[in-house]
Structure 1
């Protein structure tokens, strides 16, 4: 299973070294074999999973911290794995034609492969920390995919917005995982389930739930974090199809589904999801009816569909869980079809504006068929699987124990708007008279029209034969979240029931709305008048205000003078430590307990004081540097006297290097220093004396405390036994504090890359003077 997850990453590495040759015109389809092979691999497990034989694999990673690569293949993770690899196969094939001849096609395939591997790792992870790692990898890879057209400012901005919102969600997920790990003593989701009652009764349950909510809502574009998704439509169509219909945007829904058996069944969990999902689905569906860009329409209906899923999970009933499980499949099929169909229209006709498009069936009939199939499934018209999905949604709301009529009314309203949007995007561009400017539109290649037709057809095959997904996919999903699926039977016809009436009402209302409400630029302009009240505008206004504050703050504190930076830092530390000293938490210093000064110490102390005086009053830079070296060497001698030769040698090496560097840096500067005004020198002197005095008092207080050698004894005893190293300091840095050292090395590496980038920067003469 680990190899399956890493396959995408390994292929991306291979593309890095030989991508141009691997994905040239003749071999552009070659990368499709990667997701296809993984799809076949996961299909093999359908039999086992449908018989409740869930697969668990664990690979040690950081066992000392309870962080392992633990993977679980159950009904929920299998469904998402099949969607990731199955739709991924079609997207890879679609890309070979959509981006044919693109200069960076190999790079695009690399990003897609990394994303695919990250998504597989996310849905298969049983450990919350490893899940977080893959979660962040999906955000990073999606950043590169959304911003693939990096010459476009709009694409770059959309990519940054998406990364910012989902990145915050990743941080919240890490926080939630750590809180749950501290409560339960484990990061394994499976092991946490055994402590469900304890976790829900813990005082930090609400905090953990809020952090999980934040992660899921940002990733799955729930209100008010939804605005990054329409902006992400600047990405190429394969990205929109893969990320924004079937995979990444459903990661938040997956997380809520996965965590519901552990954290669900409480009023806080269920009510929060119900309210947020309800607002999102109605708000976004309403917005979709005013859009004229096909991708914009699909973006808002996607957000609405995600809201429906969150809403259904929030209902927390058996019927709603079943509806959510089926709707995940339904939405993935018809929305991927929609996006691919839209991409073909945009690719061939060079526009996505539905007010300009009509009659395209005459030049791309298969694409028109795909759009019709998607629109029918989206509207829930039989015999599509969308009809089954809509019926189950109404089953979940109509039989809910509280406010059933109101919730059902909101669900109907949402589905009517979504149906209308589906007709506009999937049918309107292909009916009517073909405009003269589109008469020369070329018929799309096989790999552009076949994937959407295949997905659209699957929606009807499954609708006619729902038994295909009943035992193989739907029941295992319910089992994986602890629900009884024995009585689950998916049918296209349930007889004449109130639910059938609600479905017919939705279908009829959607059709009537389509004929009554015509998309136009005027209607879109109307809705944009309220843009100032949208969460996106509010956040942008906050960013502008924060930028102004940052400029003001920078002018005051970050004004380019190093002496000011140091003065502010020292002043803050003086205030902080001074408050500690006067707060009554200090200790009485027993000066009699200290040993008397020796003649060596007195001599070294005298040298130190003289060196400090020379530094302060020297008029020559070289003299000041020499005096600084004298101070360092004097401290080296103190370390030797106090039996710390290793510290003495380290200090000696650092001071020698520092003096040499100072001399090299200051070599070309004027020979003599110009003394600053006396007021500044007096100020700096007071700060220095105050800070030095406080440090001295704190040092004396520390020395006056009883010596506790428990920690040092532990390291001395265990350095060789546990880490097989005789140098205690090295062992502490490399083994006991290995994580800290790794982070420090990472920071140094990132800094080195930044410095290297600046050194390699070659600005044009015009750019050098631009601000």
Structure 2
């Protein structure tokens, strides 16, 4: 493990955020040409991360960071191994191409600078997720991806569909983020560490814990919502309301793979258990089938790609949890292959829409001669998505079947799911590669022409990389696949698969997939119609369920809020006192903890008895007062009497505080009451008086019993001894009380001073309030004469 002391990794992590600051200004000055300059920012980060390839390919890791709260073991730290480095390279490398693509796609848009700023923020957030070592840093960046994706999906905020899609993504992924936070807290408590690099070496500590299952479910909640696993997949296709550069980036290298990254990172910690090997393959397999079926059903290019992303994520989750020796290798290979072909195909879809004015595949055709470079890029991406040699997608598919194939029922079931899912995704890949470009030229295609270099450079580059990764598989595995698989497995693994066919079950399953895909592609129109009827017969799906759930939630919140916040102060006070009384009395009664009755002193001094009588007299004066001002003054008399009692029993500081509170209370209440239009006396009906009296008496009894119970316990002298010992030594003060107030709890005292200051400002405002002037004639009318104790 190598310590990164130079701090250059920190700079690579912060560069995207610097790009977010620079993008609006540069775009305003240079227009779309600023994309060439801005693309250097993620490219520099890419070069920095690429410099770690030799070290990590040799089996090393790079760590670094800064202590934040050492006492709690909280830090801003990063950890780079084969898994995180591959993700970092995908994020920054594809991010560079996305910035260039955005410059061409958003050319002339008045908010292009704001859009690029959001892209950079999104890039920095996702980069932080994959390199984070500390739990805290991981969670902060995890939630930042949800916030920035909300901004990007809802970029066209004037459209209702964009706002709904953004809100849906935020609700689903944000809720999953809260589950992840709880899961990380469980991991912290179980393992005692707050860093992933230490957690992955904790062996069976987590799986042996009695809290393993709840921890796993919480972690899966965060991962499944972020990576759109069924039934949380609905937000991802709706996120296509975002501009195409967002879709290309979100689906290829960033947010949707965050959940897969988390599962791969925690596989050595949480994997290998029956729960892991049941839940992940099941939900992953269902997501694969749902996504691939829905993809074939669509005719919009972006929707087709969106649902294949759902299917691909399901396939990766299924492989991560399957548990066979080749499964993790297959998941890693497919993740890299998917990043390359999906990013390119999304950019192709946007390029077609940009030039032809439509994304409907049924309205497209004959674009090959008009857009030859785009056709080549689509062909490279589509064939890799179809899993055909010599592309890296073929390597991934061969390894998938090597991982799943077996003679038991479980293996047969998931192999069948993989064959069907891959065949359907092959249909979609072939549709994207051929349908818009071959055949007769349509009316929409007549006006199309090849786009600028900013638009076709990205998809062409990714398509070529998908080809080169398959052809030169040996160096590809040495630099990327092998280190990544080793990191996911928690032990050294070697990947050796190449494009040279090997006779066996995996090759036979690949041929079966190709044959099934070709047949379905040949009968695509009929097959799509059949799927449409089937889906219509099944009724509304989870997307409609989300709307129903949100509507019900809003209605419940509205009614519940109106129920508990009806706007009546007397209700609020009554409920608060009832709950307080219950909190005091019920535990003492249930557990037999009622205090013993206090023993009265044999002799009470005359002045002590006098002030007790004054306090009791003040109480009766409050109850018998005929108007509110008299009651307020009587309440003050009672409080002042108690303050004197505190003084007599050796608590001058408490007595002074009580004097201040009583004075402020009387002044404020008097000022408020004289400016409210209230009845001069109490007109409550008898039942209300009985209820209020009962609540007051029960609350008083509860508080009294609690105080008596507390005073029964032996006095803990620990703090007394501490302050007596250190007040002179540390704070250089002989008055212990003053030292406590000023030094040991100075922040608390500052808060109290702030409260007093705010109270004084409120009193000043009340004093300066003046009643509106009335006409002289009106002031002589009998009904305007105020009764005693009335308001102004």
**After TM superposition, is the score higher than 0.5?**
yes
* Per-residue deviation, 1:151: 1.5
Structure 1 719/174 Cα, relative in aligned 2: closer, same or farther at 3 Å?
farther
**How much has 1:640 moved relative to structure 2?**
5.2
Partner of 1:279: 286
Shift of 1:129: 2.6
Q: Determine whether 1:411 maps to 2:418.
A: yes
Partner of residue 683 from structure 1, selected from 674, 678, 691: 691
Matched, 1:429 2:456: no
Measured after TM superposition, the shift of residue 642 of structure 1 is 5.9
SS at 2:389 equivalent:
coil
Map 1:571-720 onto structure 2 (within 5 A).
571-592=578-599, 668-670=675-677, 672-673=679-680, 675-678=682-685, 679-710=687-718
2:195 aligns to what? 188
Contact 1:23 1:31 (C-alpha < 8 Å) held by counterparts: no
Quote the Cα distance in structure 2 between the aligned partners of 1:163 and 1:115.
14
Which digits, 9 at most, give the CA deviation of each residue in 1:63-118, with x for residues without a partner?
21122223211000000000110111111111122222333333222222222222
SS in 1 for 2:436: helix
| Shift, 1:720, TM fit | 10
Task: Provide the residue aligned with 1:12 in structure 2.
Answer: 20
Normalised TM-score (structure 2): 0.85
**Structure 1 match to 2:366:** 359
The answer on 1:156 being equivalent to 2:163 is: yes
Q: How does 1:138-157 map to 2 (within 5 A)?
A: 138-157=145-164
The separation in 2 between residues aligned to 1:648 and 1:15, in whole angstroms, is 61
Say yes or no: does 1:227 pair with 2:239: no
Match of 1:27 among 14, 17, 34: 34
Matching of residue 116 in structure 1 with residue 88 in structure 2: no
Equivalent position of 1:389 in the other structure:
396
CA distance in 2, matches of 1:208, 1:346: 45
Distance 2:649 2:70 in 1: 39
**CA distance 1:532–1:192, change in 2 (3 Å):** same
CA distance, structure 2, for counterparts of residue 494 and residue 434 of structure 1: 38
Give the CA deviation at 1:587. Answer: 3.8
Q: Could you tell me which residue of structure 1 aligns to residue 568 of structure 2?
A: 561
Partner Cα separation in structure 1 for residue 618 and residue 539 of structure 2: 63
Secondary structure of the residue aligned to 2:63 is: strand
180-189 or 360-369, which deviates more = 360-369
- Report the Cα distance in structure 2 between the residues aligned to 1:616 and 1:392, rounded to whole angstroms: 85
Aligned mate of 1:2, from 1, 7, 10: 10
CA contact (8 A) 1:320 1:396 kept: yes
Report the equivalent of 2:46: 39
Q: Kindly indicate whether the alpha-carbon contact (under 8 Å) linking 1:378 and 1:386 is maintained by their aligned counterparts in 2.
A: yes
Instruction: Classify 1:270/1:403 alpha carbon distance in 2 versus 1 (closer, same or farther; 3 Å).
Output: closer
Greater Cα shift, 245-254 or 364-373:
364-373
Q: CA deviation at 1:637?
A: 5.4
Do the aligned residues in 1 keep the contact of 2:267 with 2:489 (CA within 8 Å)? no
Alpha-carbon distance in structure 1 between the residues aligned to 2:731 and 2:464: 60
Task: Say if 2:365 and 2:438, in contact at 8 Å, map to a contact too.
Answer: yes
1:756 aligned residue: none
Q: Alpha-carbon deviation of 1:272?
A: 1.6
Distance in 2 between the 1:587 and 1:104 partners?
68
Aligned pair 1:570/2:577, yes or no? Answer: yes
Q: 1:676-712, CA deviations, whole angstroms, 9 ceiling, x for partnerless residues?
A: 4223233222212211221111111111112224466
Shift of 1:540: 3.6
**Structure 2 unmatched runs, 5+:** 1-8, 759-792
Contact 1:292 1:520 in 2 (8 A): no
Distance 1:323 1:586, change over 3 A: same
Q: Is the 8 A contact 1:340 1:448 kept in 2?
A: yes
1:695-740 superposed Cα distances (whole Å, 9 cap, x missing partner): 11111111111222446656887899999999556777789999xx
Matched, 1:324 2:324: no
- The question of whether the paired residues in 1 share the 8 Å contact of 2:382 and 2:433 is answered with yes
Q: Does 1:462 align with 2:469?
A: yes
Tell me if structure 1 keeps the 8 A contact 2:285–2:318.
Answer: yes
Q: d(CA) in 2 for partners of 1:438 and 1:671? A: 77
Q: 1:443 to 1:658 in 2, by over 3 A?
A: farther
How far does the alpha carbon of each residue in 1:601-636 deviate from its partner, in whole angstroms, 9 at most, with x for none? 656655655656666666766666666666666666
What is the SS of the residue equivalent to 2:358? coil
Q: 2:210 aligns with which of 203, 211, 215?
A: 203
Deviations 1:494-522 (A, max 9, x none): 33333222212212221221120228996
**In 2, Cα distance between the equivalents of 1:6 and 1:657?**
52
Shift in Å, 1:220 = 0.8
Equivalences for residues 471-490 of structure 1 within 5 A: 471-482=478-489, 487-490=494-497
1:294, 1:393 → 2: CA distance?
Answer: 26
* 1:126 matched residue in structure 2: 133
Unaligned runs of 5+ in 1: 749-771
Q: Secondary structure at the match of 2:176?
A: helix
Distance in 2 (alpha carbons) for counterparts of 1:661 and 1:105? 55
Secondary structure class of the residue paired with 1:177:
helix
Structure 1 segment 306-385 matched on structure 2, within 5 A: 306-385=313-392
The residue number in structure 2 matching 1:768 is none
Counterpart CA distance in 2 for 1:684 and 1:364 is 82
- Tell me the equivalent position of 1:757: none
> How do 1:756-771 residues align onto structure 2 when only pairs under 5 Å count?
none
1:236 Cα shift? Answer: 1.4
1:121 deviates by 1.8
Secondary structure of 2:326 counterpart:
helix
Q: Is the 8 A contact 1:291 1:519 kept in 2?
A: no
Moved more, 23-32 or 684-693: 23-32
Residues 291 and 524, structure 1, Cα contact 8 Å, conserved in 2: no
SS of 2:13 mapped into structure 1: helix
SS of residue paired to 1:59: strand
Q: Deviations over 1:29-87 (max 9, x none)?
A: 43222211100110111011111121111310122112222321100000000011011
Q: State the Cα distance separating 1:558 from its structure 2 match.
A: 2.7
- Give the paired residue count: 740
Judged with a 3 Å threshold, the aligned counterparts in structure 2 of structure 1 residues 131 and 437 are, in CA distance, closer, same or farther, namely closer
Indicate if the aligned counterparts of 2:169 and 2:236 stay in contact, CA closer than 8 A.
yes
CA distance in 2, matches of 1:712, 1:284: 67
Deviation string for 1:468-519 (max 9, x for gaps)? 3211111111222345556521311133333222212212221221120228
Maintained 8 Å contact 2:742/2:749: no
Any idea what the Cα deviations from partners look like across 1:318-354, whole Å, max 9, x if unmatched? 3111111111110000111111112222333333222
* Range 160-169 or range 433-442, more displaced: 433-442
Separation in 2 of the partners of 1:734 and 1:111?
42
Compared with structure 1, are the counterparts of its residues 219 and 647 closer, same or farther at alpha carbon in structure 2 (3 Å cutoff)? farther
On the 8 A contact 1:23/1:105 being kept in 2, the answer is no
Return the alpha-carbon distance in structure 1 between the equivalents of residues 748 and 632 of structure 2. Answer: 38
CA contact (8 A) 1:23 1:30 kept: no
Residues 356, 199 of structure 1: alpha-carbon distance in 2 compared, 3 angstrom cutoff? same
| Structure 2 residue aligned with 1:493 | 500
Q: 1:453 aligns with which of 450, 460, 474?
A: 460
The alignment's TM-score, normalised by the length of structure 1, stands at 0.87
8 A contact 2:636–2:663 mirrored in 1: yes
- What is the CA deviation profile of residues 570-595 of structure 1, one whole-angstrom value per residue up to 9, with x for unaligned ones? 22333343322321331432513889
1:291 corresponding residue in structure 2:
298
Aligned to 1:74: 81
Greater shift in the superposed pair: 178-187 or 376-385: 178-187
Say if 1:119 and 1:729 are closer, same or farther in 2 by CA, change over 3 A: farther
Report if aligned partners of 2:370, 2:448 keep a CA contact under 8 Å in 1.
yes
